[in-house]
Structure 1
Amino acid sequence: MIRSERFRPLRRRLLRRLFWLALCCGGLAICGQTWLVYQQETERFEAGVEEIGRTHLPLLAVGLWDLEVEALQQQVEQIAARKEVASVVLQSSTGLLISSAAAEQETGDVDAVLPIRNARSPDELLGELRIHADDSQLDRTILLAAGQKIVEVALFTGLISLLIGYSLHRELHVPLKRIAAYVARLSPQKPAAPPQLRRRRRDWFDEMDLVTRGFETLHEGLLRHGAERDAAMQALAAERDLLDSRVAQRTQVLQRISGYQAILSRTLLRCVHLRADAFAPALQQALEELCEFLGARACAMAERDEKRQWRWRLVRGSLWRAGEPLELPNEQPGWSLLDCEAGQALVFVRYDDAGGGQLFVLGGEPRAGDADEQRYLQMVAEMLFSLLDRWQSAEALEQTQAELERLSLSDPLTGLGNRRHFEQVREQECRRAVRHGQPLSVLMLDVDYFKAYNDQYGHGAGDDCLVRIADCIRHLFQRAGELPVRLGGEEFAVILPAYDSDLAQAAAERVRSAVLALQCPHAGAPLGQLSVSLGVAAWTPADEQPLDFEALLERADRALYQAKAGGRNRVCVSPLR
């Protein structure tokens, strides 16, 4: 898409791109050349260091052994005079330090360190020779090589650009301008002379020739188009009289499609994020809208159960009754027209691999229409089947969630509430007691000598014992708000809303008596049977202290320990603070 009327020649843009591409390639070549020179200079310095080690280290070792300072200084200066060396420092193991003249100016890291050993005793270190490389020599060499490569790349880039520019001007720019002038002269009403590109004679053709032939073909097509346009105008004049009827037909079709789309959209929007109990009214409303839109007297949906019997799930109208079985002549999925006592019915059936299925039926002479109409009905049926699946999934999900919630709040052994349930309910009961001005009590229960029972009869018998005690507690506390829970092990608790201290103590005595009535033998207990100890704590609105459930639970726990300390099989009530 052209965003500006400013003309920019293709030749110039191609040359600019080629120029920058050549510069990039030249830059890469310069970088490669610089890296190569750096590697060569590094290798040359390493070779020089090896040569110094072969030629000078023996002399330096002799000089250090004989302590000939002048000879050592001469050797250091000779090494420093090498082209690749900037400065040299000789340090003996005795502390003698000899350096070249330029060593004081060096502040960088040492590039090479050569240890000087005694020729007679190689393990004896006489000193070391530290060599600084001449970085300025390396910089000069790299700059010289880079400069040469820059000149070469610049000359090569300029020459190539000139040659390519001339070729583009001759082979591309001039022919394209002549083709553009030819295109400007084209007209559907009159022919135009083909463009003269003035190119040399040859026995081959290229893209320019293809472009020229293409425009000639385009001109011929324009002439044919003019003739066809005249014929089309005549045909259009003849069809103009039928336009109103066609528009009306198309409008009717669009209205029909819009009606289906509106039903689909409303139903889908209505069924987004629905709970399972809200699907039935939503789908029932969708069936009523379909009946009204299609002119049917009845509309229904059915499901096939595991016994392969059809049961109505949703019914609108009086042709069928919900719950009555439905018999189909075959099990072929798809559309089929069935005769029933109330008239004709249009049925769509979908079967699954497990033998189940879903059915959507319109009864009372529905307007089936043509194939398109049946296709739209099939789309509606597929949507309803999908929503029916979602309904089933939502019901299953809610059942699963309810079961998970029940399992998370109940003790798996006894079926009573667990500590998590206890923690959730206790704050609610505290707020309710304060809001309504009612007392609140807590029972703490512990099975006496239960560890000895487990040791003597086994953990299986201990679990059976806990289940029987839990059944007693559950049977005694069934009023709304009363919550018996198992806190863990043999410890139980009961929240008693609207119970004062006397009522709570009486309830605790009933629990103690009910457990004794079980007559569970326990040879390790003084009574010879299982018993329980209970602690009771109560709060009333008349108390001076505000209601604190933690404090209330602590009081009940202290009362429980008091009952156990007093001989067990008894109820102790915590006094008010």
Structure 2
Amino acid sequence: MSARKHFQPIAQRLSKILYRIGFLLMLVIVMVYSVLSYFDVAENLHAQLVSLAQEHRPRLSAALWDIDPIAITEELDSLSAVSSVAGIALITPSGARYMRGVSDEVSKELSYTVELMHKSSIIPVGRLTLISDRYEIWKQVAYRVLPFALAQLLFVMGLLFALQLFLRKVVLRRLDALTIHTHLLRPDHLDTAPPPPLFESPVRDELDNLLQGFANLQSNLLHQQKERGQLIHALAESRDQLEVEVAQRTDESFYLSEFLQLLSKDAARYLSMPLDGAEFGLEQTLKDTGQLMGLDTLVAVHFAGEIQQGSVYLWHKGNKKIRPDFTLAKRNLFPLSEKKLNSQAAFMMSVPNELAEESGEAALCRDLHLAKLVALPLDFNGERLGVLFAGLSDQHRQYSELEMRLLPLVAGLCSNVLAHRRQQLSLQETKNALLAANQQLERLAGHDALTGIANRRTFDEVLLQDMRRAKRHSKPLLLIVLDVDLFKQYNDSHGRDAGDIALQKIAAVLGKFAERSGDCAARIGEKEFVLLLPNTDLHVGKLLAERLRLAVIKLGLLHEDGSALTISQGLATYAGPEEVSAADFLRMADKALYRAKRGGRNQVQFVDLAT
């Protein structure tokens, strides 16, 4: 917290500021005038020195030419008698010096030097230097500046005094009057008018705005004080009425507390309720609420949606039911409720004044023997889920104000239950769809997109597993690697689409040879396929490879020259005891395929790892 400030009148502070500014301004003006005067006096003295030198120059030149010491002395004495001349230095070519009142430090003084020439000589007969002391300059400057400074001081003092009087008359007196008036104001004397200004200004200024604002503030405070008195009087009159209403509200509070406890218990029950228990739970809520409020029936109509059919949840104190064909709960069965609830939070209808005979509202009233019906919207996040109806059988019974306040709470709970059930159904449907999509993705991740058979990733996994199994059980494992001969020429001549079709047909033929559960046919390159057959020795493998070669030829895939599209195959077998990796096993089959290619294509070559 800052220290308490010392009080100082604003007039005193303004006076100090004005005097400081005035004296500073005067000081600046006097300094500028002094500098200008100095240069002017120095210039005048220099001009006098030039004039004196030019005036005595002819006589001094003649005296020096005639070598007349008396004449020289007279001329020098005449020059030294001038007040502006502080010293004279006359130097002849022979080295003679005539000095008056100066030393050798001539350069420090204000001086003027002239060469003395005689008409009978072409060289100077001497050099005359006239020197003026700077003391003379400052003396003349002082004679000028002191009167000017005194005049400026008197002018500034007079101007500041006049300005101070003006500020005191125009500003300070009004501020003093306003300060005194604020000290005299009391909460019970706000109607005291402020004093009139002692000085009327012809124009409006900030002080006028301040005085007007203070007057407005005083008027507003007086007005608020009167209103406060009126409010206190009105509150005193309302106090007795409030005491009566509090007594009535107390009874309602006990009723409302019991109602809220019921809704809270039902809401907690719904959080742990399974998906198929929502219907029973909602009907139980309608029953408990209807019995507590003394209603004859409560009906929650859930409109049909995209993922579930419409439904009707009913409680009636006489256990009456609705006709069976009403269970679809279509939105178009309730035209009046749809129309009214678009602009109202709730509305009341009577039978048969407002209901059409074919409407859903009329059907409810007929089947349940109702005389009055209140409809409330079942909305969730701006979406109309259905309608809640609260009915009375007695035509003379009226809905109380408390019942009309509590029914929206029931509608809100029903809306949340219906939205929660719909969300559960949607999540269940989404979960099932995700499971199906994951299964599809897993299948697609292991198969070639073009041919539909296994891809390289699946083949590598199956090869590693089959080699382990073959080693464990000492069973033969056959690997056929085949490559489409001259496929680039076929693709270039027939087009990429025809090439893709050819690969699909070859893959289909290859798949027929992998008919057992453990067999694997896969595409591992652009035009390279493999066939992995467990429990198959080399002899059977040769027969299968030959059948596969002929089956591809029978596809009728022809090159541009009419020759058939063929395949080359490399076979390798693995029996288990050998320490061979999957990569080495595949590399041996590739070497056999290379020999088939080098040997003219359209043939089968093999490698037996056991030998």
- Length-normalised TM-score, structure 1: 0.48
Q: TM-score, normalised by structure 2?
A: 0.46
